Structure 1
Amino acid sequence: MITPALPTSCDTSGDTTSVDESITAWALAARAGDPDAVEHFVRALHRDVLRYVAHLSADPQAADDLAQDTFLRALGSLHRFEGRSSARAWLLSIARRAVIDSFRYAATRPRLSDAPDWRLAVELAQPRGLPGFDDGVALLDLLAALPDERREAFVLTQLMGLPYAEAAEVSDCAVGTVRSRVARARTTLVDLLAETDAPTPVAA
């Protein structure tokens, strides 16, 4: 079982390059059979994976399962990791495939709701009154308005702090494409915020 308790070692306000080098070294040591390195590797990247799969899947409720699946896949594939890219970029590529596979699985096995009004049931199940909860919901709503590819590029680079080159590797596209998607995402978000802040016209 993967523990959800995490240090904040991947804080993007610090030296991301040195952090990534340490994480990559842990991944290589874990590949060689060091159990402590496995624990360091999982703890260092668990939060990043959770955030990424939650945004990519647009389903925060499924994030834990998707993160678990990602690490199970990664630990089973460590013998193929050679350190040519950062371990973080490598792991997020696996997370991306896990989300895509979950979409495919869900498409073949549609789930039915027992509740007569499933939308109301979902809303009532959401937490309320938590610090920052409303802001988090507002951010998710704004990001949900973006096309999938732009949202992914924005989350990878602006929320998770990945360099554009690594974000391109995770997304399997050119660096210039990532830069373009992020720029367009920023423009859309600014426009959406402006619409939100605009005063509502009073009816005559």
Structure 2
Amino acid sequence: MTAAVLPASRTERASTDAAATAWALAARGGDRHAAEHFVRALHNDVLCYVVHLSGDPQTAHDLTQDTFARAFGSLHRFEGRASARTWLLSIARRAVADSFRHAAARPRLADTPDWQAVVERMQPRGLPGFEDGVALLDLLEALPDERREAFVLTQVVGLSYEEAAGFAGCPVGTVRSRVSRARATLERQLLEAQAPAARAS
């Protein structure tokens, strides 16, 4: 999961998007192997985004499965005009919204644990960049919702600014501004967090 937390290169994202879209189109034609590749390619991105939207790690895996079930149920309508990733994340957003409506009708009696802790437990230990990934998750939680969503969509999930703008329903310039401000806040928080250690040494 670390790879899903730490930003990938634009080339890697474009390659993954192209492959996932091709697999989705092949799966629409009944190719079961393509369907498996489609799920594997985008599962972590959907899970990360669902956790971000819902704030409820206990249901994140169920919501991710629900997202893919809905996707396969409407795959016959997918024509590849947008990337499969963008299409899938829009389904994930609806799945989370529906879960909120359901939860409002049947309130839960107990609080759920902090979502960052669950994401941390899901990540393999001892890998290069692991600590950076955990630190990033902690810092993201402190961002305002709109900036956090813009940053997660573009820097974590890998959407282009244009795709993120269409997804969030705002101008591209607004997304760029939110990401820039989020990055500035994260950099400032990292410097503040490192300052005590620097003084101690």
TM bracket (short chain) = 0.7 to 0.9
2:90 to 84, 93, 97: 93
2:135 matches 1:173: no
Secondary structure at 1:15's aligned position in 2? helix
Where do 1:92-171 residues align within 5 Å?
92-113=89-110, 122=113, 130-131=125-126, 136-171=133-168
Flag as ranges the 4+ runs of structure 1 deviating above 6 A: none
Aligned residue number for residue 65 of structure 1: 62
Q: Is the 8 A contact 2:50 2:96 kept in 1?
A: yes
Where do 1:178-189 residues align within 5 Å?
178-189=175-186
1:141-198 CA distances to partner (integer Å, 9 max, x unpaired)? 3211112221111011111222111222332332222111111211222233333334
Change over 3 Å in CA distance of 1:134–1:111 after alignment to 2? farther
Aligned residue number for residue 3 of structure 1: none
How far apart, in 1, do the equivalents of 2:19 and 2:194 lie?
A: 43
Change over 3 Å in CA distance of 1:58–1:194 after alignment to 2? farther
How many residue pairs match? The answer is 185
Secondary structure at 1:173's aligned position in 2? coil
The structure having more radius of gyration, on CA atoms, is 1
% identity of equivalent residues: 67
How far apart, in 2, do the equivalents of 1:184 and 1:103 lie?
A: 29
Aligned residue number for residue 30 of structure 1: 27
1:108-167 CA distances to partner (integer Å, 9 max, x unpaired)? 321113xxxx68xx47x9659954776555433321111222111101111122211122
Larger relative helix fraction: 2
Q: Which moved more, 1:46-55 or 1:167-176?
A: 167-176
User: CA RMSD, aligned part only?
Assistant: 3.0
How far apart, in 2, do the equivalents of 1:66 and 1:142 lie?
A: 24
Structure with bigger RCO (C-alpha 8 Å, 6+ apart): 2
Unaligned regions of 5+ residues in structure 2, if any?
Answer: none
Unaligned regions of 5+ residues in structure 1, if any?
Answer: 1-7
Q: Could you tell me how far 1:15 is from its partner in structure 2?
A: 3.4
How far apart, in 2, do the equivalents of 1:191 and 1:12 lie?
A: 22
Return the TM-score normalized by structure 2: 0.77
